Structure 1
Amino acid sequence: MARIKDEDIQLVRERVRIDEVVEQYVTLRNAGGGARKGLCPFHDEKTPSFNVRPAQGFYHCFGCGAGGDSIKFLMEIEGLGFAEAVERLAGKYGIQLRYEEGGPVGPRRDPGQRQRLLEAHRLAAEFYHEALMVAPEAQPGRQFVTDRGFDRAAAEMFSMGWAPRGGEALVSHLKSKGFSDEDLIVGGLAARGQRGLYDKFRGRLLWPIKEISGEVIGFGARRMLDDDRIEAKYLNTSETPIYKKSHVLYGIDLARRTISSRSQAVIVEGYTDVMACHQAGVTTAVATCGTAFGEDHARVLRRILLDHDAFHGEVIFTFDGDEAGQRAAMKAFAGDEQFAGQTYVAVEPRGMDPCDLRMADGDAAVRELVASRVPLYRFVLDNTLTRYDLDRGDQRVDAIREAVGLARAIRDKSKVDEFLREIASRVGADVDQVRQEFKASQGSSRSSSGSATAPSAAASGPVAAPAAVPAGPSFGAPQFADEREALKAIVQFPHLAKPLADDIGENDFTHPVAQELWRRIEQRGLPDAPDPSWLPGLSDSVTDDAFRRVLGVAAVEPLHSSERSTQAVVAAVLARLQELTVARRIVEVKSRLQRTNPVEQAETYNRMFGELVALEQQRRDFRERVIGAMEQL
């Protein structure tokens, strides 16, 4: 696919205000020094540590280390690729993107297409919803809503709709709004037949499917009429440029904040199950859209749960108690490596889904179903042991060997021994025997993988070693305060630092992290004027996460006295950095002078003495620059 021109990417970074992008997801308040602060959307916190610097076009969280520019923020919060994030921002801010000629063969991107399709879906959702509320022919849909235990407010909360039976009502409505046939076909809202364009959904009850940001990207449609020629009970929007079913979770727009704050996500199977859970107070419920829960769905939840912090969140699957439900649970366990959080299963013994359960026993029963969750590995253990005749010794051994494999998958290692005891109790074996089998299984796992600690180079291919932060004092230690201030001044105000930075070199920094970042800054060069794309470009050039986190802090942490004259602060900070370099050189020269005999090594002594005099003068000059800059404050 053709590549977006670099100058257009830079234009997006220049024109897009990062605080406007972030405020679609995070409430920001002024924090002084040109910074804004809010609760981090990438991890659960009670005290705001998420900082945004609009002037620099950068964000950084002091809690979890997330950071970057507006493009990176949208990529992380929405799970987008780089090009898609650029295109979305360009469309929202009216920026026309151009593409490199001669790129890889593939379809040309239409930067405005996404916004057109989103607008068409927004209008379609409003059209369908109005039809459900007032159209006489939508009575079967309204009756279904009532029969399933929901009221008008619930239908409005989930923006439910009705697709008129005629087959051309939506097409006519959207074409009157200026949309082309191609827009409607590509967006999955219409199809072309022998008589022309017709509505994709006809005579069906609809649920708008929304992105995490609340934008409508597709629909789920339930069969309601006996004369519906399409037999399928449910139809979903086909794959489109804005709708990828493997990436979508129904209800995520409503559940996102609660999932984050409670560190819990409940996975149910259908639209009405999501509605029932939310109506019952389980507002962390989401569902897949016509497909099994997969890796891409897990990636969406990981971003919200932020489960890189081990055991931070819960993912609760609800399954029917029948054989199909058990197979689904086994499949979920096989994919449990997708989560570092704890994975649970909640099974209704009578085989009821949350919607049926709510209708039969009320809201409290739905809440109790979720509260009665059991660890998924325990549920799988129960199903595993049912396949063995535990009255036979050989069957008990086989059962133990399979069961200890489940124990290896438990992420919270503090629970492993208790689980081994549980296996022993359930099988009727000695716990030491179970532990022995567990150790044996670990040994065979290591030997089969070749190494317990390191991947095979032959198997994985050459891997470039990442730049690691060297051992030694932390860059946050007090002795590096001036170096941190200098980096902050350069990173936040590179155009002000440029005239003052000609004499700054790598030796002016003593910590390896600062030295590496300065090397990257030298390679990129400092701009002559404010340039919103400069800092994101610098961040892109820093490949190591540890160094990038330091850069993120430097980009958003306010400079001392930054509420005063910024130019004077930058001048004072950089002069102070150079003064310290000269001071270190003075110490070195004095030490050498003390070890030099002025009689026997007169020439060397006199040369070093002259160097010392010059250094002292240079130090006074820098000190005067610091004082002069401070007097401007």
Structure 2
Amino acid sequence: MASGRIRDEDVTYVRDNSAIDDVVGDFVQLKSAGGGQKKGLCPFHDEKSPSFHVTPSKGYFHCFGCGVGGDAIAFLMKIDHLSFSESVERLADRMGYTLRYDGTNTNTGPSINRSRLVAANVAAMNFYREQINLPGSAQVGRDFLQKRGFDKAAAELFGVGYAPDEWDGLYKHLKSLGFSDSELSLAGLTKDGSKGPIDRYRNRLVWPIKDISGDVVGFGARKLASDEVDQGPKYLNTAETPLYKKSQILYGLDMAKKEIAKKRQVVIVEGYTDVMAAHLAGITTAVATCGTAFGDDHIRVIRRLLMDDDAFRGEVIFTFDGDAAGQKAALRAFGDDQKFVAQTFVAVEPSGMDPCDLRIASGDAAVRDLIARRVPLFEFAIKSEIAKYDINAAEGRVSALNQVAPL
């Protein structure tokens, strides 16, 4: 964010020329409401029927459920927790308009410059993407991708990169671009070492994580060294930052959001490589959580995109590994079933393979067939519970019945 006050005439230009239905449409699926209005499920409170209205001709939105309303600037301020200036700058960037500033910034209090943190993440993403194509230690990252069926084009499509096996390679690069120590720390790109800031990720394959509007807000990094060499976790995600809230982020949503809204379907997979495999196989509605369980905030995001109400019911399809942990995850998802109006399904490969492994073993068609063979989540939950008992015995049948009755 530049120093100084944005000129009033520039604020007016940005406000008047921002198509509010396009801005809101990045977060909410809108449909015609007649009279030149559009409506959708409110992104600011949980609701079953759409009461959130947008009037493109006036550049205004209003929710009749919670009362929030305003223009495109106010919408971005509220949904992305931006300052007024940051919201204007985001909209100006969106339309390719250059803002002019007057005077100096008189705000002496502490502030979080979101645009600088996003810029630091974008620069880090570009650094990692360059590193993966260099000779030397990056070969282990390329080998990892190749063994999982991903060529160079696939890596580039998803922005996959490599964090070099150095203590401060990224730090030095970003400092040369003018980023401060505090910005890099706040973005979650560095951490404190005994002799100063060091890179958070070393010798790891790195996926950029983007929010629904496409801003890079964090990273997911997969360990490449053996456990003897690297005692860290297999996957290491960005810590909670002003940009990255893991309970609200779904990996791949920026790529999938239009197809989710169009097809009224979302496929929930378990990891970054599963999202890649699904999309490359033609399942372009696939997303994944980032190292956390699928929760209430994720549900709210999905419902808004699906236009999840009684009149427009969509499909939510969960994929889980066929092992005990996968079944436990499916039953946990069933506990959230009533939070969707949409029909919920589960797609589990009998052999226990996840979409990535299935694509390696049997090709793209097998991944598409996995989703096509989905079964209602309710049915899967019942069968999973019954399978725990010997139903050939009377006692087993009674126990199974008692177990599934609450479901």
After TM superposition, the score normalised by the length of structure 2 is 0.80
1:222 aligned onto 2:222 = yes
CA contact (8 A) 1:26 1:40 kept: no
Q: Relative to total residues, which structure has the larger helix share, 1 or 2?
A: 1
Compute the displacement of 1:166 (Å): 1.7
Aligned to 1:155: 155
CA contact (8 A) 1:22 1:73 kept: no
Question: How many Å separate the matches in 2 of 1:230 and 1:340?
Answer: 43
Compute the displacement of 1:23 (Å): 3.8
Compute the displacement of 1:142 (Å): 1.1
Q: Counterparts of 1:590-629 in structure 2 under 5 Å?
A: none
Q: Counterparts of 1:408-557 in structure 2 under 5 Å?
A: none
Question: How many Å separate the matches in 1 of 2:72 and 2:402?
Answer: 51
CA contact (8 A) 1:248 1:288 kept: yes
Question: How many Å separate the matches in 2 of 1:87 and 1:228?
Answer: 46
Question: Aligned pair in 2 of structure 1 residues 69, 234: CA closer, same or farther (>3 Å)?
Answer: same
Question: How many Å separate the matches in 2 of 1:88 and 1:333?
Answer: 40
Question: Aligned pair in 2 of structure 1 residues 175, 21: CA closer, same or farther (>3 Å)?
Answer: farther
1:571-628 CA distances to partner (integer Å, 9 max, x unpaired)? xxxxxxxxxxxxxxxxxxxxxxxxxxxxxxxxxxxxxxxxxxxxxxxxxxxxxxxxxx
Question: How many Å separate the matches in 2 of 1:143 and 1:324?
Answer: 28
User: What SS does the aligned partner of 2:138 have?
Assistant: helix
CA contact (8 A) 2:20 2:60 kept: no
CA contact (8 A) 2:76 2:82 kept: no
Aligned to 2:284: 283
Q: How many residue pairs end up in the alignment? A: 366
1:89 aligned onto 2:93 = no
In structure 1, give the amino acid aligned to 2:224: M
Question: How many Å separate the matches in 2 of 1:230 and 1:71?
Answer: 46
Question: How many Å separate the matches in 2 of 1:228 and 1:273?
Answer: 26
Question: How many Å separate the matches in 2 of 1:17 and 1:371?
Answer: 45
Compute the displacement of 1:213 (Å): 0.9
Compute the displacement of 1:360 (Å): 0.2
Question: Aligned pair in 2 of structure 1 residues 148, 40: CA closer, same or farther (>3 Å)?
Answer: farther
Question: Aligned pair in 2 of structure 1 residues 23, 391: CA closer, same or farther (>3 Å)?
Answer: closer
Aligned to 2:76: 74
Aligned to 2:235: 234
Aligned to 1:455: none
Q: Counterparts of 1:160-199 in structure 2 under 5 Å?
A: 160-199=160-199
Compute the displacement of 1:58 (Å): 1.4
In structure 2, give the amino acid aligned to 1:199: D
Aligned to 2:404: 403
Aligned to 1:261: 262
User: What SS does the aligned partner of 2:18 have?
Assistant: helix
Question: How many Å separate the matches in 1 of 2:282 and 2:369?
Answer: 11
Compute the displacement of 1:202 (Å): 1.0
User: What SS does the aligned partner of 1:165 have?
Assistant: coil
Aligned to 1:210: 210
CA RMSD of aligned residues (A): 3.4
Structure 1: unaligned runs, 5 residues or longer: 1-10, 28-36, 44-48, 102-107, 407-633
Compute the displacement of 1:134 (Å): 3.0
Question: How many Å separate the matches in 2 of 1:284 and 1:194?
Answer: 44
Question: How many Å separate the matches in 2 of 1:137 and 1:395?
Answer: 56
Compute the displacement of 1:67 (Å): 7.4
Aligned to 1:52: 56
Question: How many Å separate the matches in 2 of 1:384 and 1:87?
Answer: 54
Aligned to 2:139: 139
Compute the displacement of 1:403 (Å): 3.5
Question: Aligned pair in 2 of structure 1 residues 330, 12: CA closer, same or farther (>3 Å)?
Answer: farther
Question: How many Å separate the matches in 1 of 2:20 and 2:304?
Answer: 18
1:19 aligned onto 2:18 = yes
Compute the displacement of 1:18 (Å): 6.0
Compute the displacement of 1:260 (Å): 0.6
Compute the displacement of 1:119 (Å): 0.4
Question: How many Å separate the matches in 2 of 1:292 and 1:97?
Answer: 42
Aligned to 2:48: none
Aligned to 1:335: 336
Question: How many Å separate the matches in 1 of 2:24 and 2:141?
Answer: 33
User: What SS does the aligned partner of 1:405 have?
Assistant: coil
Question: How many Å separate the matches in 2 of 1:85 and 1:374?
Answer: 45
1:320 aligned onto 2:318 = no
Question: How many Å separate the matches in 2 of 1:391 and 1:139?
Answer: 55
